[in-house]
Structure formats: structure tokens, C-alpha cells
């Protein structure tokens, strides 16, 4: 039973540098899946939500989306779970965590801008788990970089092996379409149209004069040359190497014109991995195991002040999740059950009775969950692979209203459980240091502490370079912690962290303390 459910599912995320076309592509995929009816719905839906709360108003003004959400839809009998990720770099950590809950990604690259800053970081995170990647080169209707140059740039800059499955015929005003190398067909470009049968012409033999007829002799000649070169260099796609995260198929298209999107989706459901197993601190869990397991990868606060509950996003890893059934919350050792778990099918929040590996379930939470928490049918274990990365900016939390100390403590605890920022508490002391990726996060924290907890705070900038989790010889760590008291903190789980003032300091400490290891992430092998 489970095998069948698993084989029907694909759980993935679209990642890109902001403005490459992630939202546009998402919308087109949802249109194909029938999850929305009209173009523009994805964005207008966002704006409606923004208007309902002041906090979201901040987002609207800044034109970013802080929240990641899940969109589930069916396409040709396949159940697709698309996990959205915030594009803004200040919320990158949120994106990294979401990537632990997917089995593959589609990476959108702007053909004009090529590889950009966020692209690099996101691909690095994918590489940590060998997540299979499909590349979609977008905006072929604009004059971008030449396709061979782009492939070169992507391969070099992202250290990815690529395998083009489609090839563009010109670009910009001269863009005529793409030749699909996977099933040897020609797709003629028509702006702003749904791809129709007429525009897709099978041309199994690239030397067929039909090609000259449709795109002109000159372009047909160029395409033949290109395809010959591509075939020589790349040969046939080795799907297993893609599944192992070793090679990334590439498609070319124009999301806003809905061009090349169907080919991408059709190939995606054919080759993309079905829900995969995950590691725990005890063992590897396979999706087809009969007993249910899952983990929380995201917690979303309900921004409506009348309803304080939060939504925890659970990725089902194995077995079958059922409504109103007791499961073990392994970190706290308690049994918990959920009467209103919901799915994210087609924008409706539907209460569901069951869910299978690869599915994401929304659970109402009154503050019991932290990111990374594990639910099982009783087995005590914890899913791993959800590392915390060293923040970039550090500030000390200053209480501005001594009457509200309790509220502040509670608020900062809950916000950091949600993963809004990282909290470091002085080892053996009371100082609280907040670590973030971007300034915007501090503003959000300050705002939310006031709005949701009635606590006002300020932040005092600190000039730390990195947070390093320290491991190694017990005695050496004890000594080090004593000598460096002012720089030793505890993270939310009580792990010891050394805050280094600069790279130079860090290197010096590394040299002086050979028995201690310094790590930039909270999880290490
Ligand atoms: P995101 O920030 O990655 O989600 O990017 P969006 O989907 O919001 O797109 C950014 C901008 O690029 C918008 O103005 C889109 O209309 C535009 N855009 C998206 N796809 C294409 C395309 O294929 N061609 C052109 N010319 N513009 C596009």
C-alpha cells in the first residue's frame, strides 16, 4: 500500500536568486496542476494575506515574502508537493531548513544575469545532502548570455555537472523556440500562450527538412551544429547520476510566457526522485517502513493576534500519518495527537485523515515544537541533517522594560524555537546574544516581541565574526571555556559555542587548542 503511495509523490522546492522567476514558474506549474485558474493568482493571493496583518505589512512594503508555504497539486496522476522558499537573503536560513524536507529542487537561473550570489549559497546547501537538481534557464525571450557560455558559467561557478535536455534556437527578439533533446521534438515559441499540440512538432531526425521549414535554414543549420556538439559532449542522460546529485539536467524557457514549462514538468515527474529516506541519530529510516515517522522543518507563527497558535510543518518520512492518533514527541518524551492536521492541497486548508511519506502536514501547535523535532510511533530517535549555520550578524538583546522581563524571555524563546533567529546564552551567565543572517530579521524580532508579547527590546551591535560549535577533548574544552568565558555561549540545545571576534582570532585559537574542533554548523560528522 505504502509503496504505491510513495511512488505517486514528488516533493520539491524551486530555488533561485530573487527576480530570476521563481514565483512566475511556481504559478505556471500550479496552472498546469489545475490548482489555480488564472495567471496572477499566486501573487494576488500573497497580497491579500499581507493586508490582514500589520506584520505582513512590513513584508509588503519591502516586497518580500517571509513565509514559506506548501502547495500540493496533482498532475497526470502524480501528487506534487511544492515547498515554497523565501527569496530574500535575510531569511536564507528558512530556505535551508525547507531544503531538508524536499527530495529534489528546480533551480531557476536568469539567462541575462547568469549565476548570482544566492544561487551559489543555495546550491552549496543542496550539495550537503546531494539533493538532485534540475536547472531551468529562464527569460530566453530576452537577450541573455549565450547558452554555451551560460552552461560553462554554471558548471564552473556552481561546480555542477550539467546535462542539457533542451536547446534554445536564438534568444531575445529572435527567440524561436527550443529543441527538446530528451524526446527529439521542436517546440516553437509563441509569447503568452499555453503550449499547444500544434507548436510541438516531433522531429526525431534532426536532419529532417521540416526543421528548415519551421525555423529557417540558417537557424536550422546552427541548431544541427549545436545538437551534434551537445550529443558528442553529453551523450544520453544517466538518470541515476541525476538521482545521486551528480549531474543536473538543464531546460531552457520563458516562465512568464509559459514556454518550456510543460516540458520541464513532464520530465520532472518522470525522472525526479520519489520520497527518500532520512537519517536519524540512531539509524536510517526508509519511507516504506510500516511505522510512521516525521520531523518538523518549519514553524509558522499565526500572525493574527486573536489566535496565538502556531503551525508546525511536518514532513512525513515513513509509514502512514493518521489524524487523532497518539505519536511520540521524542525530544520531550510525551505522546501527542492532532485532531485537525491539514494538507495544503490547492490553496484550501483541508483537514486530512492520513498522509504518506513525502507529504507535508500542518499541525496546530501551542508551543510544544522546535525545528527538528521528531514524531514516531514510540521509537526514540531524532532526525538529523537540519544543521544550524553560523549567523552573520550578532547583537546583544537589551531589555527596555524591566516590568516585562518574563514576556521578553518567553517571546525570545518562542521566536527562536520557530527559527526566526538564533539565540545564544552566556555560558554560566545571563547575557543573551541574537544571531541573524540579515538586519531585517532583527526588525522582525523587535516588532513581533512588542506586538505579540508586549515586550520592548533594543539590540546592541557586537562585532563577532562567526559562531563556532566546539567539540573535542572534555578537559581541553573545560579549560578553554574558562579562559574565554566572555566568548563562550550556549545554543538553544545547550551546545557550547565559541564566538570569534575575527578570522585571525579563530585561527589562533585553532592553533593553540589542537584538541578542540571548531565547526561553522551545529551538525558535523
Ligand atoms: P522571483 O523573485 O524569483 O520569484 O521572480 P518573479 O517570478 O517575481 O519574476 C521577477 C520578474 O521577472 C517579474 O517581473 C517577472 O514578470 C519577470 N519574468 C519572469 N519570467 C520571465 C521571462 O521568462 N521573461 C521575462 N522577460 N521576464 C520574466
Separation of CA 29 and ligand 1 centre (Å): 14
CA distance 469 to 494: 11
User: Residue 111, annotated ligand binder?
Assistant: no
Q: What is the pLDDT of residue 58?
A: 47
Chain segment 27-71, per-residue pLDDT in tens? 888 888 776 655 554 543 333 333 334 444 544 444 333 344 788
Q: At what angle do helices 54-62 and 439-453 cross, to 10 degrees?
A: 160
CA of 109 to the centre of ligand 1 (A): 11
Strands 342-343 and 9-16, bridge-based pairing = unpaired
- For ligand 1, whether the C-beta of 18 sits within 6 Å is yes
Closest atom of ligand 1 relative to the 17 alpha carbon: 3
Whether the CA torsion 189, 191, 195, 199 is positive or negative: it is negative
Dihedral angle computed from the Cα positions of residues 17, 69, 138 and 80, in that order, rounded to the nearest 10 degrees = 140
Can you tell me the distance from the alpha carbon of 69 to that of 30, in angstroms, rounded to the nearest whole number? 14
Pure H helices in 63-159 = 92-99, 117-128, 147-158
Q: What is the largest CA-CA distance in the chain?
A: 82
Mean pLDDT along residues 8-23: 93
Distance CA 295, CA 289 (A): 15
Does the C-beta of 142 come closer than 6 Å to ligand 1? yes
| pLDDT exceeds 70 at position 428 | yes
Higher pLDDT, 302 or 414: 414
- Flag whether 21 is marked binding: yes
Q: ipTM greater than 0.90, yes or no?
A: yes
Scan for cell 533561485, then name that residue. Answer: 16
**Residue 24 Cβ < 6 Å to ligand 1:** yes
Centroid of ligand 1 to alpha carbon of 449 (angstroms): 35
**Mean pLDDT of the 147-162 span:** 95
140 annotated as ligand-binding: yes
Burial class of residue 156 (count of CB atoms within 10 Å of its CB; 0-12, 13-18, 19+): exposed
Whose cell is 527596555? That residue is: 400
* Geometric angle at alpha carbon 375, from 369 and 377, rounded to 5°: 150
Is residue 252 within 8 A of residue 147, CB to CB? The reply is yes
HSE toward the beta carbon, residue 121, CA cutoff 13 A: 17
Whether 138 has a binding-site annotation, put simply, is: yes
The partner residues of 498 in beta bridges, in order of sequence, read 468, 488
87 lines ligand 1 (CB under 6 A): yes
**Residue 346 is labelled as binding a ligand:** no
Examine the pLDDT at 464 and tell me if it is beyond 60.
yes
The answer, yes or no, to whether any atom of ligand 1 lies below 6 A from the CB of 254, is: yes
Q: Whose CA is nearest to atom 11 of ligand 1?
A: 19
pTM confidence score: 0.87
CB of 19 closer than 6 angstroms to any ligand 1 atom: yes
Instruction: Ligand 1, residue 254: give the atom nearest the CA.
Output: 23
Confidence check: pLDDT of 294 > 80: yes
C-alpha cell of 312? 508546525
Shortest-distance Cα residue to atom 10 of ligand 1: 19
pLDDT computed for residue 67 by the predictor: 43
The annotation status of 449 as a binding-site residue, yes or no, is no
Residue 341 known to bind ligand: no
275 annotated ligand binder:
no
| Whether residue 119 has its Cβ less than 6 Å from ligand 1 | no
| Banded model confidence at residue 348, pLDDT cuts 50, 70, 90 | low
Best residue among 22, 24, 65 to mutate for probing ligand 1, ranked by most atoms within 8 Å of CB: 24
Between CA 25 and CA 138 the distance in angstroms is 9
Q: What is the pLDDT of residue 87?
A: 65
Residue among 506, 516, 427, 507 nearest 476 (CA): 516
139 lines ligand 1 (CB under 6 A): yes
Distance 516 CA to ligand 1 centre (A): 48
395 burial class (0-12, 13-18, 19+ CB within 10 angstroms)? Answer: buried
* The predicted structure's pLDDT at residue 50: 34
Give 135 Cα–ligand 1 centroid separation in angstroms: 16
Distance in angstroms between the alpha carbons of the first and the last residue of the chain: 35
201 and 286 Cβ atoms separated by less than 8 Å: no
Q: Is the CB of 258 under 6 A from ligand 1?
A: no
Amino acid at each position: 500500500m505504502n509503496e504505491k503511495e510513495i511512488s505517486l509523490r514528488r516533493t520539491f522546492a524551486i530555488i533561485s536568486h530573487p527576480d530570476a522567476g521563481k514565483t512566475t514558474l511556481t504559478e505556471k506549474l500550479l496552472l498546469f496542476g489545475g490548482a489555480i485558474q488564472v495567471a496572477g493568482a499566486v501573487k494576488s493571493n500573497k497580497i491579500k494575506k499581507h493586508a490582514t496583518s500589520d506584520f505582513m505589512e512590513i513584508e509588503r512594503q519591502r516586497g518580500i515574502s517571509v513565509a514559506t508555504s506548501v502547495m500540493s497539486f496533482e498532475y497526470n496522476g502524480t501528487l506534487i508537493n511544492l515547498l515554497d522558499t523565501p527569496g530574500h537573503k535575510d531569511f536564507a536560513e528558512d530556505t535551508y531548513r525547507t531544503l531538508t524536507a524536499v527530495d529534489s529542487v528546480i533551480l531557476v537561473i536568469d539567462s541575462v544575469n547568469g549565476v548570482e550570489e544566492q544561487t551559489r549559497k543555495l546550491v552549496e546547501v543542496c550539495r550537503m545532502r546531494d539533493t538532485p537538481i534540475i536547472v531551468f534557464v529562464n527569460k530566453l525571450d530576452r537577450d541573455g548570455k549565450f547558452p554555451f557560455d551560460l552552461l560553462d558559467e554554471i558548471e564552473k561557478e556552481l561546480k555542477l555537472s550539467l546535462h542539457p535536455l533542451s536547446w534554445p534556437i536564438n534568444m531575445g527578439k529572435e527567440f524561436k523556440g527550443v529543441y527538446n533533446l530528451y524526446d527529439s521534438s521542436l517546440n516553437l515559441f509563441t509569447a503568452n500562450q499555453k503550449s499547444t499540440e500544434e507548436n510541438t512538432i516531433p522531429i526525431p531526425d534532426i536532419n529532417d527538412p521540416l526543421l528548415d521549414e519551421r525555423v529557417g535554414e540558417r537557424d536550422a543549420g546552427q541548431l544541427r551544429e549545436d545538437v551534434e556538439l551537445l550529443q558528442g559532449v553529453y551523450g544520453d542522460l544517466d538518470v541515476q547520476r541525476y538521482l545521486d546529485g551528480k549531474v543536473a539536467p538543464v531546460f531552457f524557457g520563458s516562465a512568464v510566457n509559459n514556454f518550456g514549462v510543460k516540458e520541464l514538468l513532464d520530465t520532472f515527474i518522470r525522472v525526479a526522485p520519489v520520497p527518500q529516506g532520512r537519517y536519524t541519530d540512531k539509524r536510517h529510516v526508509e519511507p516504506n517502513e510500516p511505522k510512521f515517522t516525521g520531523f518538523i522543518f518549519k514553524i509558522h507563527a499565526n500572525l493574527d493576534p486573536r489566535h496565538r497558535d502556531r503551525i508546525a510543518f511536518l514532513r512525513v518520512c515513513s509509514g502512514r500519518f493518521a489524524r487523532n492518533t497518539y505519536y511520540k514527541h521524542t525530544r520531550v518524551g510525551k505522546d501527542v495527537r492532532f485532531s485537525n492536521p491539514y494538507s495544503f492541497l490547492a490553496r484550501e486548508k483541508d483537514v486530512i485523515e492520513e498522509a504518506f511519506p513525502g507529504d507535508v502536514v500542518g499541525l496546530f501547535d501551542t508551543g510544544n515544537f522546535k525545528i527538528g523535532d521528531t514524531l514516531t510511533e514510540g521509537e526514540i530517535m531524532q532526525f538529523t541533517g537540519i544543521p544550524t549555520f553560523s549567523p552573520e550578524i550578532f547583537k546583544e538583546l537589551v531589555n527596555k522594560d524591566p516590568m516585562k522581563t518574563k514576556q521578553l524571555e518567553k517571546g525570545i524563546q518562542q521566536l527562536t524555537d520557530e527559527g526566526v533567529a538564533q539565540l545564544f546564552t552566556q555560558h554560566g551567565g545571563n547575557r543573551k546574544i541574537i544571531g541573524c543572517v540579515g538586519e531585517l530579521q532583527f526588525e522582525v524580532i523587535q516588532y513581533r516581541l512588542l506586538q505579540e508579547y508586549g515586550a520592548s527590546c533594543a539590540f546592541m551591535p557586537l562585532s563577532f565574526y562567526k559562531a563556532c560549535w566546539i567539540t573535542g577533548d572534555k578537559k581541553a574544552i573545560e579549560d578553554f571555556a574558562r579562559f574565554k568565558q566572555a566568548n563562550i555561549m550556549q545554543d538553544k540545545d545547550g551546545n557550547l559555542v565559541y564566538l570569534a571576534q575575527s578570522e585571525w582570532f579563530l585561527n589562533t585559537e585553532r592553533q593553540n587548542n589542537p584538541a578542540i574542533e571548531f565547526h561553522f554548523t551545529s551538525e558535523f560528522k
